[in-house]
């Protein structure tokens, strides 16, 4: 998710396009850009990766402007559809609006039904459209778009980071728990940027200023500085998603002031302290296990090695639902380096285990490459509960840690030993960040009330924890 507000007409479309490349890891199903030229908003979005959806012709047709927003979407379940892609564009009597959303609203179903009973017609299956209508309905009663956003936030429960573009303003908002990250940056010419992760700022040569605070609404408009509304700040228990540090965010990003790379190394250090093992080499499962492997190596003194080569040309379109084919796709994606592991006792660090499919194949690959022992250390606690806030942690029945003990899982995946990061340790992996994490999928204790029933696909927008196992 990305937004830019310049002081003059600029090539904001290409800047947004570059930023979406940097944020591609946050969503691969669809993407889009909306550009604002003197109050007229043009937009384009479709199913596919950024380079699939945008070519020179499409970017040229979007033209130039003084503001733009962009989005990469991960629809965790359900069908891919162009109409569910973002930015969501609405024409309204108070002016057009383009909205980007990251997260998942837990009361989307109730809000949607209430709106439908009052005659609202929905055109997508997303909870993002519920947010958009909550804002446009509030706009009829409020003096400004930012006041409408503040009023709508009073109705929304759950996870939402938003970037909204109106004819004259670019607005960023974050739910009061701060589940999903959202940062602010600035270009040397004074242009302001909002982005899900700071790696998008680096791509454009922008300076990281700060994060949008949980509950805060930040307004930028061409020619003006930033304004902040803090009405909702401090109204809810804080809970940045711990899984952002474990898996979702890029290691070169800074989230809420903490380096993801350092946090992952800390996870590895804690694993080495709490679950030491005698071994010859430490390797990481690409990509998000690599930093934790480095941390484990530094703490334990066991040499770090490159254990796998990843084929970077396998797209999600290759993935087949059948179990055998899924295992084959892991073998196509990863190959063990015999030069590193042959004849060695190996410590393998993975970022998490969801269903156990991938790790079983990975352990097997290491044994075939000659590893004499394989000790698995997981840089997250066991997944036991669902996520209601934008990450598809799978149904409880599919979570291997929900059905088996650690010892049983160790036998299933064929490792010599298995240990997870503790709940206490995961809370400490980003020490420069003083706020509490959400660790709900590990503990079943969430920062805010959850719905009685699991959210269904038509309301879901977010990151899939299963992606890594497909
Ligand atoms: S339940 Fe888990 S995946 Fe969901 S927001 Fe909380 S920590 Fe993140």
Q: What is the distance in A from the centroid of ligand 1 to the CA of 127? A: 18
Residues 227 and 259 in one domain: no
Q: What is the distance in A from the centroid of ligand 1 to the CA of 256? A: 16
Determine the angle formed by the axes of helices 145-153 and 127-139, rounding to 10 degrees.
120
Judge residue 140's burial from the number of C-beta atoms within 10 Å of its C-beta, 0-12 exposed, 13-18 middle, 19 or more buried. exposed
Q: What is the distance in A from the centroid of ligand 1 to the CA of 242? A: 6
Residues 326 and 229 in one domain: no
Is residue 240 within 8 Å of 248, Cβ to Cβ?
no
403 lies in some domain: yes
Nearest CA to ligand 1 atom 2: 441
**For ligand 1, what atom is nearest to the CA of residue 393?**
3
Residues 152 and 217 in one domain: yes
CATH value at residue 45 = 3.60.20.10
pLDDT value of position 332: 86
Can you count the helices (H) and strands (E) in the chain?
17, 25
Q: What is the distance in A from the centroid of ligand 1 to the CA of 270? A: 20
Residues 284 and 393 in one domain: yes
468 lies in some domain: no
Residues 307 and 437 in one domain: yes
pLDDT value of position 265: 97
Pocket of ligand 1 (CB under 6 A): 179, 241-243, 387, 389, 391, 393, 438-441
Residues 166 and 71 in one domain: yes
Give 17's contacts (C-beta < 8 A, 6+ positions apart). 33, 50, 54, 59, 70
Interatomic CA distance for residues 55 and 63, integer angstroms: 13
SS3 228: strand
Residues 168 and 300 in one domain: no
Parallel, antiparallel or unpaired: strands 65-73 and 158-165: unpaired
Residues 168 and 196 in one domain: yes
461 lies in some domain: no
Q: Give the domain-ending residue among 195, 212, 238.
A: 238
pLDDT value of position 328: 77
Residues 225 and 278 in one domain: no
Q: What is the distance in A from the centroid of ligand 1 to the CA of 183? A: 19
Pocket test for ligand 1, best of 438, 449, 463, 466 (most atoms within 8 A of CB): 438
pTM given for the model: 0.91
Residues 210 and 260 in one domain: no
**For ligand 1, what atom is nearest to the CA of residue 442?**
2
**For ligand 1, what atom is nearest to the CA of residue 179?**
5
CATH value at residue 288 = 3.40.50.2020
The closest alpha carbon to 12, from 72, 65, 71, belongs to 65
Number of domains in the chain: 2
End-to-end Cα distance, the chain: 24
Is residue 45 within 8 Å of 86, Cβ to Cβ?
yes
Q: Give the domain-ending residue among 238, 265, 290.
A: 238
Which pLDDT tens digits describe the chain residue by residue (470 residues)?
999 999 999 999 999 999 999 999 999 899 999 999 999 999 999 999 999 999 999 999 999 999 999 999 986 554 578 888 999 999 999 999 999 999 999 999 999 999 999 999 999 989 999 999 999 999 999 999 999 999 999 999 999 999 999 999 999 999 999 999 999 999 999 999 999 999 999 999 999 999 999 999 999 998 888 999 999 999 999 999 999 999 999 999 999 999 999 999 999 999 999 999 999 999 999 888 999 999 999 999 999 999 999 988 876 544 455 566 667 778 888 999 999 999 999 999 999 898 888 899 999 999 999 999 999 999 999 999 989 998 876 667 778 998 999 999 999 999 999 999 999 999 999 987 778 899 999 999 999 998 754 444 333 344 555 444 43
Interatomic CA distance for residues 74 and 232, integer angstroms: 27
145 lies in some domain: yes
Residues 112 and 17 in one domain: yes
pLDDT value of position 434: 72
- Which tokens belong to 288? 């998000």
pLDDT value of position 224: 85
Q: Where are the alpha helices (DSSP H) in 275-337?
A: 290-300, 323-333
Residues 143 and 61 in one domain: yes
469 lies in some domain: no
pLDDT value of position 466: 47
Pocket test for ligand 1, best of 177, 239, 242, 451 (most atoms within 8 A of CB): 242
245 lies in some domain: no
Interatomic CA distance for residues 162 and 459, integer angstroms: 16
188 lies in some domain: yes
**For ligand 1, what atom is nearest to the CA of residue 440?**
1
462 lies in some domain: no
Nearest CA to ligand 1 atom 8: 241
Interatomic CA distance for residues 435 and 176, integer angstroms: 12
Please give the residue range of the domain that contains residue 278.
254-311+318-445
Q: Which residues of 179-193 are buried (b: 16+ CB within 10 A; e: fewer)?
A: bbbbbbbbbeeebbb
């Amino acid at each position: 998710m990305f937004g830019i507000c310049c002081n003059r007409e600029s090539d904001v479309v290409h800047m947004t396009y570059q930023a979406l490349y940097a944020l591609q890891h946050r969503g691969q199903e669809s993407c889009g850009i909306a550009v604002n030229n003197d109050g007229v908003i043009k937009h384009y979005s479709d199913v596919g990766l950024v380079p699939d959806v945008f070519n020179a012709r499409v970017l040229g047709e979007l033209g130039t402007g003084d503001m733009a927003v962009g989005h990469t979407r991960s629809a965790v379940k359900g069908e891919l559809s162009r109409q569910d892609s973002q930015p969501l564009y609405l024409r309204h009597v108070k002016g057009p609006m383009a909205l980007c959303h990251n997260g998942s609203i837990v009361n989307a179903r109730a809000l949607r039904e209430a709106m439908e009973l009052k005659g609202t017609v929905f055109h997508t299956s997303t909870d993002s459209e519920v947010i958009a209508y909550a804002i446009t309905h509030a706009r009829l009663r409020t003096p400004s778009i930012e006041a409408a956003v503040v009023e709508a936030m009073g109705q929304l429960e759950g996870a939402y980071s938003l970037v909204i573009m109106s004819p004259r303003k670019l607005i960023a908002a974050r739910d009061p728990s701060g589940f999903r990250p959202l940062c602010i940056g600035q270009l040397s010419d004074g242009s302001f940027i909002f982005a899900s992760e700071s790696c998008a700022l680096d791509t454009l040569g922008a300076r990281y200023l700060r994060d949008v605070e949980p509950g805060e609404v930040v307004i930028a408009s061409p020619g003006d500085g930033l304004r902040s509304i803090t009405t909702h700040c401090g109204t809810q228990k804080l809970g940045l998603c711990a899984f952002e540090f474990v898996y979702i965010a890029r290691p070169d990003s800074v989230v809420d002031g903490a380096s993801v790379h350092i946090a992952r190394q800390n996870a590895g250090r804690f694993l080495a302290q709490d679950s030491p093992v005698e071994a010859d080499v430490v390797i990481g499962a690409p990509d998000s296990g690599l930093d934790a492997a480095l941390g484990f190596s530094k703490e334990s003194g066991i040499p770090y090695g490159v254990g796998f080569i990843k084929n970077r040309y396998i797209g999600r379109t290759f993935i087949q639902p059948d179990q055998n084919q899924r295992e084959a796709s892991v073998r196509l994606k990863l190959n063990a380096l015999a030069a590193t592991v042959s004849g060695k006792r190996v410590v393998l660090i993975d970022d998490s285990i969801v269903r156990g499919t991938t790790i079983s194949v990975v352990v097997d690959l290491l044994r075939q490459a000659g590893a004499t022992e394989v000790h698995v250390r997981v840089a997250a606690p066991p997944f036991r509960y669902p996520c209601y806030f934008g990450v598809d942690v799978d149904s409880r029945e599919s979570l291997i840690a929900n059905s088996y003990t650690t010892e049983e899982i160790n036998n299933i995946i064929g490792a010599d030993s298995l240990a997870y990061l503790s709940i206490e340790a995961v809370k400490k992996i980003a020490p420069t960040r003083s706020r509490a994490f959400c660790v709900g999928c590990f503990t079943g204790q969430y920062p805010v009330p959850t719905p009685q029933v699991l959210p269904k696909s038509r309301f879901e927008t977010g990151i899939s924890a299963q992606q890594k196992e497909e």
